[in-house]
Amino acid sequence: MATLTDIGVAAAINILSAFGFLLAFAILRLQPFNDRVYFPKWYLKGVRSSPLNSGTFIKKIVNLDFRSYLRFLDWMPAALKMPEPELIDHAGLDSAVYLRIYLLGLKVFLPITCLAFAVLVPVNWTNNTLELDASKSSKLVFSEIDKLSISNIPKGSNKFWTHLVMAYTFTFWTCYVLLREYKVIASMRLHFLASEKRRPDQFTVLVRNVPPDPDESMSELVEHFFLVNHPDNYLTHQVVYDANKLAKMVKKKKNMLNWLDFYQLKFERNSSTRPTCKIGFLGLFGKKVDAIEYYSTEIGKLSKEEVEERDRIQKDTKSIIPAAFVSFRTRWGTAVCAQTQQTRNPTIWLTEWSPEPRDVYWQNLAIPFVQQTVRRLIIAVAFFFLTFFFMIPIAFVQSLANLDGIEKAVPFLKHLIEKKFIKSFIQGFLPGIALKIFLIFLPSILMLMSKFEGSISLSSLERRAASKYYLFLLVNVFLGSIITGTAFQQLNTFIHQSVNQFPKTIGIAIPQKATFFITYVMVDGWAGVAGEILRLKPLIIYHIKNFFFVKTEKDREAAMDPGSIEFASSEPQIQLYFLLGLVYAVVTPFLLPYIIIFFGLAYLVFRHQIINVYNQEYESAASFWPNVHVRVITAMIIAQVLLLGLMSTKSAANSTPFLIALPVLTIWFHKFCKSRYESAFRKYPLQEAMMKDTLERAREPNLDLKGYLLNAYVNPVFKEVDDHDDVSAFDELEFEAVLVPTKRSSRKNTPVPSKYTSGSLSPLHDAAHEQQL
Amino acid sequence: MATLTDIGVAAAINILSAFGFLLAFAILRLQPFNDRVYFPKWYLKGVRSSPLNSGTFIKKIVNLDFRSYLRFLDWMPAALKMPEPELIDHAGLDSAVYLRIYLLGLKVFLPITCLAFAVLVPVNWTNNTLELDASKSSKLVFSEIDKLSISNIPKGSNKFWTHLVMAYTFTFWTCYVLLREYKVIASMRLHFLASEKRRPDQFTVLVRNVPPDPDESMSELVEHFFLVNHPDNYLTHQVVYDANKLAKMVKKKKNMLNWLDFYQLKFERNSSTRPTCKIGFLGLFGKKVDAIEYYSTEIGKLSKEEVEERDRIQKDTKSIIPAAFVSFRTRWGTAVCAQTQQTRNPTIWLTEWSPEPRDVYWQNLAIPFVQQTVRRLIIAVAFFFLTFFFMIPIAFVQSLANLDGIEKAVPFLKHLIEKKFIKSFIQGFLPGIALKIFLIFLPSILMLMSKFEGSISLSSLERRAASKYYLFLLVNVFLGSIITGTAFQQLNTFIHQSVNQFPKTIGIAIPQKATFFITYVMVDGWAGVAGEILRLKPLIIYHIKNFFFVKTEKDREAAMDPGSIEFASSEPQIQLYFLLGLVYAVVTPFLLPYIIIFFGLAYLVFRHQIINVYNQEYESAASFWPNVHVRVITAMIIAQVLLLGLMSTKSAANSTPFLIALPVLTIWFHKFCKSRYESAFRKYPLQEAMMKDTLERAREPNLDLKGYLLNAYVNPVFKEVDDHDDVSAFDELEFEAVLVPTKRSSRKNTPVPSKYTSGSLSPLHDAAHEQQL
């Protein structure tokens, strides 16, 4: 067990490294050279223009204005300055509400910490159980931290009533904050939806599993069905094409365009020799050809093929999948259709609110109903095995990746490996690396699993992946650290243990693990968050791209990778801190300040990133909040059950009945919140719809809604092909000049993703992007 | 442990007693005297008229036609003769589908029994494990039944693979039957709803929790809200009055009318002395008055008060509760309103399909949202304590109700009690009686709990009470018999036992308890069902009423108590047999034939009762089926887990992984069924609504829907007051002649409960009726 000094040293190291990251960021962000890495959001909004266009060459790259270095911590108050309504306007409701998760952490834990330090710490400190125990058996070592924890209270002491009262106080406070937060966010969401401008998804319903009809085409079938069943409301519809092949072609062409740019730039810089390349596997084998010529002709060919494929898809009835986007005259009619069942058979003609166009995950639209339930079963089983048995393949890889294994596999490296330095490096580093790689890829694996399940919007994909990741962290990080053993070993322990032993086993281990988790919070929380603001990976990639591929301002814009909040991986991590805080609030309050620092720092950093960097791919109007809420409730219940177990080992038996009431009340509180507020995130009330309709009719009596919705839900792949078609027709620069203004003002409320964004918003690009992670 | 002979004797006794009941029934039903007890359904339908009106006096009472006695078992084929569509027409879909639960039992268990006897019994029989064990320790006693069970297989034998394969076969067969049944019943329900004639509940939505408005009356508020938010569909609405006080008056008056009838009859029979009564407590104390005069004036007073109260309620705005029945022009509009959320706040303006008028539980319409969630929590906690601690108060009563206790309480009985016969009677009988009384009252207690929870229809009340009763039976009858101990002791055992010990503990006990459950099935199942057909209680009550109160044919009709299927108490009992059958199918197949006989006999008896006796109080179109389905699934999962536990004690470890897959697949099957079929019971598809609307518009273009719906949803208490009002105005006989024909044809499809039925259908009467039970 670590002493206070150990913790102090660890804290100092981590504070220093976090401070180092922050300092590096403060300096790097001032260089005009990095401007697009640290302020891409403003470029995308069209507010900021490249500093490279003005001033001397040096000034373009390095900031020589020393006064600005003096104000290098300015970003902190700047990040806090923007008021919330402006933030919602600037970055969307999703981002603003995401920040409120950190605020929620502060709101929950600041008062709890004060109270715990005012009440629990003195109560714990004024005992000498540990000293007595230590004097009895010399083996027992304890630290000052343990003296501050519940371990220091003698068995059966009446002082446990303090902890009991505190457990109640903390629960009620957390519930109160959660309730208020749920209420605020529900009203923020409703306000956001109510004040939103006209958007195509307000009028559109996604209908899936349209049953085939031998006599009618898909389009006629859909039209007739809705004309009959929603005669007063139906307006128009759009069929969905299976464009997966075309999407592949578009991706290939994009790749080739990059290479063409690369070779052209190479040729421009050194015009003496025309660049060549090999056309075989990975450009390593095969015939040598003139690179520019080769790629130009290839791209030309591909463009033609793309157009042919697009025309084929649009003509061939077989490429129409049994799903359609159906639009209605009014929001009222849309709300009605989206929230009711259409036919007797609940597996066909499934209607639901259509996600906004950017949010659609096109690949999954065609999955039939039965297949979807089978897929869910498969993924549920697979996820169970992933969570509990992931160590098995990793252990296998680790067993291969030892010295002997490598020597056998690649004998010619034997000489090199035998050197002492490299040997110790491999021995110390290699076993861990397999696990590390797995953990890095885990969010992507979980996202792939969620995609396989068949969700039809990116936002729901992220939510499902987040739930899975949370469970994984809960089992493997939280329980795994406490019981120390693989998840499977834990499972085995649990199955062979009595029910009331579970909370006891964990309850006893919990105070002992406090120091470990303090270190965890510092390394993963503090330094991790500080690292986030530095954006090391995007910084390097941007400069590489900038050097090799960028010819025009447009290319530079494309090289920028603003990224977005990775909800699927970062929200579960926040939840882990909630869990730690709630579990240790009564047991070892000394952990709480570390959590508060994490929440404060993370709030600051992410607020800065959201204002200046991230560019959300979609807007779901905070539809993830119920998930956040329920996970905090889960953490509360876990904390209560573990406290119950701990108390029962402390012979404080008469407090047990009082503690049992806590989880019951918490579950009831959850049910109450669910029935009271969840509907704001899942349903769209008819009154709201009617109000917006009436307002709109009064304001724009002659609106051409049909024209407005005409191309709202077209697979972005088609637009890309069309755009490339256009590009070849127009002069590129002119095209840029024409399109840019439209694009920038368009990002927020027109349905047509602009040319730039269509790239980063297409699900294909998104998938590729995720696989890169 | 019982031997085959013991079982044989028990079977003989039970078969004889069941046969005795059936014989008594066969004779009693042929007596014209009892005609109204055994064929009330036909009287209510107006098809059968009283045999008392024709023939000689003797013939009116006793059946002297000996030929009819020869055909005394005719009712059995007669009960089976009516085809299902006619049965639905005759008794409603609820009853027809209720019968299908018994059929489901036969369909599930007949093939399983055949297979088990063909495969498992020979496999079990051809071992001698028990004999070997018995020869080792003389203590172990085993019976022939155990030789047929899984206990007879030696540990670690490969023969367990047979049981494993059978467990899979049984699971798949049960799932297949369940799936087909769900499909059939869903389509029956949809067909029933589609072919139903016009009913007020098709056009009506119940809106609750209307927020108060200082400027508008409730009626205006409701009208404005729906005119704004459903402008094309809204037709009219009816406010709901708080008529609980009036209901009490009506009840009191009814009681007095009975007494008046009683004394008038007494006077008629003995006209020499006018009957007198005392007006004090229970008619035992107080002043002596002329009974007929007293009751006549009291009833006159009450009638006036009733009318005044009715007028006060209808004038006073304070007696309007914040709920209303809102009607729409079309079924489509109704479906839309019932299945969507109206406002931002999900706790106000709650809309749902209105139950049919007979089905409304008026008392609960005014419960606000938050109160409802609190009530649910209270009931959940109370139910938990009821299930696990119900033995405590009973034990307390038992400790009081011993000899010494009685002697102390009523010393003057001491002499009597000391007599040997009475002493032994009290000692043997008294302790059990407290438990028996509790068990008799249990369904009523659970119904009261459900009423407190705040459901607004009788059908949902019955469903909720049934769920509670099922849990109670599961814990206290099934587990209680296996572990032998109070539920609380079980709970204690479980908490202190390891998780994988649960199924083991029960698994080991299960084969040993087979004989107990065989006896249970015979006593509770066979004899109980045979007793049901005899209708002893209604028979006695009818004759008492007939003797004391009946003056006119109308009174005689009122004295008839057809009763109805007590879904809340009888369905959970059927489920217990499903559970027993599924649990023992693999373990001790010898139990299965007893279950099959139960299902067959019960099907026959209840089909007869439904055709000839029961008169359903409401029609919910089989909306209880999802509950039935999920409880059979629960039974399957329990059976699988227990088999897993049993197998693991049999050192058949390598079969465990195969058995774990079973519950997973079963849960997935449940999810699949739920998503595929449950919506037919919960939602009303718009296509169906539109079809019915279109048909109706074509058939009756000039329908006055508003007039049709005008008085559909009026609290039956008002009608009763109005009726009594009318009675005083008209000559009673004339009134009868006018109303009776209307009443009889009206029972099925007009909204206005007729005069007769309004009594038996009023929730108040119903509540009173249940409290009597």
Name chain A contacts of B498, Cβ cutoff 8 Å: 495-499, 501
What was the pLDDT predicted at A173? 95
| pLDDT of the residue at B62 | 64
Using DSSP's 3-state secondary structure scheme, residue A40 falls into: helix
**Res B525: pLDDT:** 81
* Chain B residues within 8 A of A690 when measuring between CB atoms: 228-229
Residue A732 neighbours by CB under 8 Å, 6+ apart: A552
Distance CA A756, CA A754 (A): 5
Mention every residue, 6+ apart, whose C-beta is less than 8 A from residue A389: A487, A488
The backbone region for B157, taken as left when phi is positive above 0, alpha when psi lies in -120 to 50, beta otherwise, is beta
Summarize the confidence of residues B238-262 as an average pLDDT: 82
Question: Quick check: B229 and A687 CB within 8 A?
Answer: yes
- Nearest Cα of chain B lies from the Cα of A502 at a distance, in angstroms, of 9
Q: Which residues of chain A make contact with B496, given a CB cutoff of 8 A?
A: 498-500
* Nearest Cα residue to B473 out of B629, B634, B593: B634
- A373 and B230 within 8 Å at the Cβ level: the answer is no
How many Cα atoms sit within 13 Å of B429 on the Cβ side? 6
pLDDT given at position B110: 94
Q: Is pLDDT above 70 for B638?
A: yes
Interface contact B524, partner A, CB < 8 A:
no
User: For B58-62, B78-82, B510-514, which range has the lowest pLDDT when averaged over its residues?
Assistant: B58-62
CA B268, B269, B272 angle in degrees (round to 5)? 80
Nearest partner of B249 among B189, B195, B301, judged by Cα? B301
Residue B318, chain A, CB below 8 Å: the answer is no
The Cα diameter of chain B in Å comes to 90
Predicted local distance difference test score (pLDDT) of residue B108: 94
β-strand B276-278 against B288-290: which pairing, if any? antiparallel
For chain A, give the number of residues.
Answer: 773
- State the CB neighbour count (10 A cutoff) for residue A403: 15
Q: Among residues B718, B739, B743, which one has the least CA distance to residue B730?
A: B739
* List of chain A residues whose C-beta atoms are within 8 Å of the C-beta of residue B336: 336, 340
Do B686 and A230 count as a contact with CB atoms less than 8 A apart?
yes
Asked if A501's CB is within 8 angstroms of B501's CB, the reply is: no
Closest partner CB to A341 (pick from B370, B495, B683): B683
Q: What are phi and psi of A234, to 5 degrees?
A: -60, 135
Q: List beta partners, residue A234.
A: A328
* B70 or A181: which leads in pLDDT: A181
Q: Which of A232, A495, A688 sits opposite B344 (nearest CB)?
A: A688
User: E strand or H helix at A458, and its extent?
Assistant: helix A458-473
Q: What are the chain B neighbours of A376 within 8 Å (beta carbons)?
A: 671
Is residue B236 over pLDDT 50? Answer: yes
pLDDT at A752: 35
Q: How many other CB atoms sit within 10 Å of the CB of residue B284?
A: 7
Taking one residue from A and the other from B, the number of pairs with CB-CB distance under 8 angstroms is 123
B631 pLDDT band, cuts 50/70/90, is very high
Q: With beta carbons less than 8 A apart as the criterion, state whether A357 and A201 touch.
A: yes
> 344-403 in A: which are within 8 Å (CB) of B?
344, 346-347, 369-370, 373, 376-377, 381
Of A377, A497, A676, the CB nearest to B498: A497
Residues of chain A with pLDDT under 50: 1, 139-140, 726-773
CB B470 within 8 A of CB B567: no
Q: Starting at the edge strand that comes first in sequence, how are the strands of the sheet with B320-328 ordered?
A: B234-241, B320-328, B204-208, B350-353
For B674-720, the pLDDT digits (tens) are 988 888 888 888 888 888 888 888 888 888 888 888 878 888 778 77
Q: Does A672 touch chain B (CB under 8 A)?
A: yes
- Angstrom distances, CA of residue B682 to CA of A348, B277, B685: 17, 55, 10
Q: Give the pLDDT of residue A105.
A: 94
| Single pTM value for the model | 0.80
Q: Which residues fall within 8 angstroms of residue A434, CB to CB, at 6 or more apart?
A: A394, A397, A398, A401
Contact A499 B500 (CB under 8 A): no
A342 and B686 within 8 Å at the Cβ level: the answer is yes
Max mean pLDDT among A498-502, B75-79, B132-136, B500-504 falls in: B75-79
Contact between B675 and A335 using a beta-carbon 8 Å cutoff: no
A84's tokens? 């919330």
Q: Do B341 and A685 touch (CB under 8 A)?
A: yes
pLDDT above 90 (res B669): yes
Q: Are A567 and A466 in contact (CB under 8 A)?
A: yes
Q: What is residue B185's predicted lDDT score, i.e. its pLDDT?
A: 93
Q: To probe the interface with A, which of B208, B344, B681, B684 has the most A CB atoms within 10 Å?
A: B344
If you measure CA to CA, which chain A residue comes closest to B377? A668
Cα–Cα distance between A345 and B678 in angstroms, integer?
Answer: 10
Q: What is the distance in angstroms between the Cα of A4 and the nearest Cα belonging to chain B? A: 38
For CA atoms A634, A638, A643, A648, give the dihedral sign.
positive
Q: From B680, which residue of chain A is nearest by alpha-carbon distance? A: A344
Reported as a pLDDT band with limits 50, 70 and 90, residue B763 is very low
B323-381 per-position pLDDT tens digit: 889 999 889 999 999 888 888 888 888 898 888 888 888 888 878 888 888 899 899 99
Are B670 and B633 spatial neighbours (Cβ–Cβ below 8 Å)?
yes
How distant is the Cα of B339 from the closest Cα of chain A, in angstroms? 6
DSSP A490-536: HHHHHHTSBTTHHHHHHHHHHHHTHHHHHHHIIIIIIIHHHHHHH-H
**In chain B, which among 163-202 make CB contacts under 8 A with chain A?**
190
Q: What contacts A499, CB < 8 A, 6 or more positions away?
A: B494, B495, B496, B497, B498, B499
> Which of A228, A496, A687 has the CB atom closest to B500's CB atom?
A496
Is residue A679 less than 8 Å (CB to CB) from chain B?
A: yes
Name the 3-class secondary structure at A589. helix
Mutate to test the interface with B, among A341, A343, A373, A673 (most CBs of B within 10 A): A341
Q: How many CB atoms lie within 10 A of CB B693?
A: 18
Q: Using an 8 Å Cβ cutoff, are A556 and A36 in contact?
A: yes
Asked whether the beta carbons of residue B676 and residue A229 sit closer than 8 angstroms, the reply is no
Band of the pLDDT at B148, cuts 50, 70, 90? confident
Contact state of B497 with A496 under an 8 Å Cβ cutoff: no
The CA-based angle A374-A376-A380, given to 5 degrees, is 120
- Alpha carbon distances (Å) from A560 to A217, A256, A264: 44, 19, 20
In this complex, do B687 and A346 lie within 8 Å of one another by their Cβ atoms?
A: no
Say how far apart CA B738 and CA B724 lie, in whole Å. 15
Query: What pLDDT is recorded for position B762?
Result: 36
Q: What is the mean pLDDT of residues B293-307?
A: 84
| Token representation of residue B551 | 């003056």
Task: From chain B, pick out residues whose CB is under 8 angstroms from the CB of A684.
Answer: 341
A118–B contact, CB cutoff 8 A: no
Comparing C-alpha atoms, which of B751, B450, B470 is closest to residue B619?
B751
What pLDDT digit, counting tens, does each position of B94-146 carry?
Answer: 999 999 999 999 999 999 999 999 988 888 877 776 666 666 655 445 566 67
Q: Indicate yes or no: CB of B664 within 8 angstroms of CB of A381.
A: yes
Using a CB-CB distance cutoff of 8 angstroms, which residues of chain A are in contact with residue B672? Answer: 370, 373
Å between B142 CA and nearest CA of chain A: 31
Max mean pLDDT among A139-148, B166-175, B363-372, B417-426 falls in B166-175
Q: Report, as an integer, the average pLDDT of B166-174.
A: 93
Q: Which of A224, A222, A227 shows the shortest CA–CA distance to A206?
A: A222
Nearest CA in chain B to A502: B498
- Identify the residue among B233, B496, B686, B694 best suited for mutation to test binding to A, counting A beta carbons within 10 A and taking the highest: B686
pLDDT tens, position by position, B279-297: 766 666 667 777 778 888 8
How many CA atoms does the CB half-sphere of B373 hold within 13 Å?
Answer: 14
The dihedral over CA atoms of B704, B708, B710, B711, expressed in degrees to the nearest 10, equals: 170
Are B378 and B388 in contact, with CB atoms under 8 Å apart? no
CA dihedral B631, B632, B637, B639 (to 10 degrees): 120
Q: How many CB atoms lie within 10 A of CB A440?
A: 10
Q: What strands lie across the sheet with A234-241, from one edge to the other?
A: A234-241, A320-328, A204-208, A350-353
Nearest residue in B to A691, CA atom? B229
Q: Looking at beta carbons, which residues of chain B come within 8 Å of A230?
A: 686
Q: What is the pLDDT of residues B606-621, one digit of tens each?
A: 998 888 888 888 888 8
Whether residue B335 and residue A340 make contact (CB cut-off 8 A), yes or no, is yes
Phi, psi of A239 (to 5 degrees): -80, 165
The reported pLDDT for the residue numbered B113 is 93
